[in-house]
Amino acid sequence: MFDVCVIGHVTRGLLTINGKTERKLPGGTAYYAGISCKSLGLDTAVITKVAKEDEPALLSELKSSGVAVFGSPTEQTTVFENIYSRDNPDFRRQKVQAVAAAFSPRDLADLRASAFHVGPLTNRDLAAGFLRKVSGRGGIVSLDVQGLLRKVDRGEVRQEDWPQKKAGLAYVDILKADEDEARILTGEEDMARAARKLAGFGPKEVIVTLGSRGSLVFCHERLYEIPAFAPRMVVDATGCGDTYMAGYLFQRLRSVDVEIAGRFAAALATLKLERFGPFTGKARDAQAFL
């Protein structure tokens, strides 16, 4: 039994800024959210799939941080390249060189958690019925929908609507989408209307992140506007959304009000933006920043 179980592929990540490859490092929701949750003091598990030869390089940091890592076989590791311009950290272009095997209900084994955070990276990551099986474990189901809108075509990532969204979101308690994803899922240009429409599919709480313009949280027919906090320096935007969700889940598991949870999550994401790699500080660092 864990506080949080994060489900997603740990990737071999390439970070390219202004045409220059700056870092080769692990990536993916399972990596960034897993280490952030553990750093905040949550008893954390990760369910992931990486090729056997990549396990030492990609899973050692998770394990050394105290995260319980559960894996199952895959022939290849997911390989992502995130391409940024220093002039606009909100914009990211992505390329995919390989995709690991999809998660199926049997990958859950007998794990239990107070919250399951599901972070697919492509629309090939989850087998049909997976979210229903996760929901059957009895914990909160949190979903970062980004990957379910990503179709990989000859190495390029193209966004398209998620055909099973109504069936899938019926099993989700907390949904996170960015502005583009919310627009694709709902057809709405106004993000307040988009959040309300997404909640109509089933989630009790809907988070729409707006990059440097902050985020919205829609819960119990009320919309909360969460500000973004200016970083002292912009170093690496990869994983900021995953870090935001780690902070939000940390507070909601403690029954903290959604607006306070959102502000804490936004502060945590800013602290992550100021450094390479995952957030490894403590909750008090975000409180001090606030």
Domain spans, the chain: 2-289
The Cα 199–Cα 195 span in angstroms is 6
pTM for the full predicted model? 0.92
Residue 215 exposure: Cα atoms within 13 Å on the Cβ side: 30
CB 222 within 8 A of CB 196: no
Single-letter amino acid, residue 176 = K
pLDDT above 70 for 90: no
Cβ(271)–Cβ(240) below 8 Å: no
Mean pLDDT rounded to a whole number for the chain: 93
Strand partners, 88: 85
Closest by CA position to 266, among listed 226, 233, 234, 236:
226
**pLDDT number for residue 276:** 86
Q: What pLDDT does 114 receive?
A: 98
- pLDDT higher than threshold 80 for residue 92: no
| Residue 60 scores a pLDDT above 90 | yes
Per-residue confidence band for 25, with pLDDT thresholds at 50, 70 and 90: confident
Mean per-residue pLDDT, 84-103: 80
Rounded-to-integer distance, Cα 176 and Cα 96, Å: 22
pLDDT at 168 over 80: yes
Quote the tokens at residue 199. Answer: 């909640």
The three-class DSSP label of residue 83 is strand
The predicted model gives 14-42 an average pLDDT of: 84
Amino acid at position 111, single letter: L
Tokens (6 digits) for 227: 């500000």
Amino acid (1-letter code) at residue 148? L
pLDDT band at 197 (very low <50, low <70, confident <90, very high): very high
Q: What is the pLDDT of residue 229?
A: 94
Mean pLDDT confidence for 124-134: 92
Distance (Å, whole) CA 69 – CA 5: 10
Residues found in the chain = 290
Q: Can you tell me which residue has the tokens 């989700």? A: 172
User: What single letter denotes the amino acid at residue 244?
Assistant: Y
In this structure, the strands spanning 140-144 and 113-118 are parallel
pLDDT, position 105 = 93
Better-scored residue on pLDDT, 84 or 247? 247
Instruction: Say yes or no to pLDDT of 43 above 70.
Output: yes
Kindly tell me if the per-residue pLDDT of 9 is higher than 70: yes
- With left for phi above 0 and alpha for psi between -120 and 50, is residue 210 left, alpha or beta? alpha
Give the integer Cα–Cα distance in Å for 191 and 182: 7
With b for 16 or more beta-carbon neighbours within 10 A and e for fewer, the 153-173 pattern comes to eeeebeeeebeebeebbebbb
Mean pLDDT to the nearest integer, 8-24 = 75
Q: What is the pLDDT of residue 62?
A: 97
Q: Are 4 and 112 in contact (CB under 8 A)?
A: no
Q: Which of 6-10, 80-84, 182-186, 262-266 has the lowest mean pLDDT?
A: 80-84
Top pLDDT among 271 and 127 is at 271
pLDDT at 235: 86
> For residues 265 and 236, which has the higher predicted lDDT (pLDDT)?
265
Q: Percentage of the chain surpassing pLDDT 90?
A: 80
CA distance linking residue 169 with residue 199, whole number of Å: 9
Residues 51-70, mean pLDDT to the nearest whole number:
96
Query: 2-289 belongs to which homologous superfamily?
Result: Ribokinase (3.40.1190.20)
Q: pLDDT confidence of 164, banded at 50, 70, 90? A: very high
Q: Which of 289, 210, 221 is nearest to 258 (CA)?
A: 221
The CA distance from 120 to 258, in Å, is 24
Is residue 22's pLDDT more than 60?
A: no
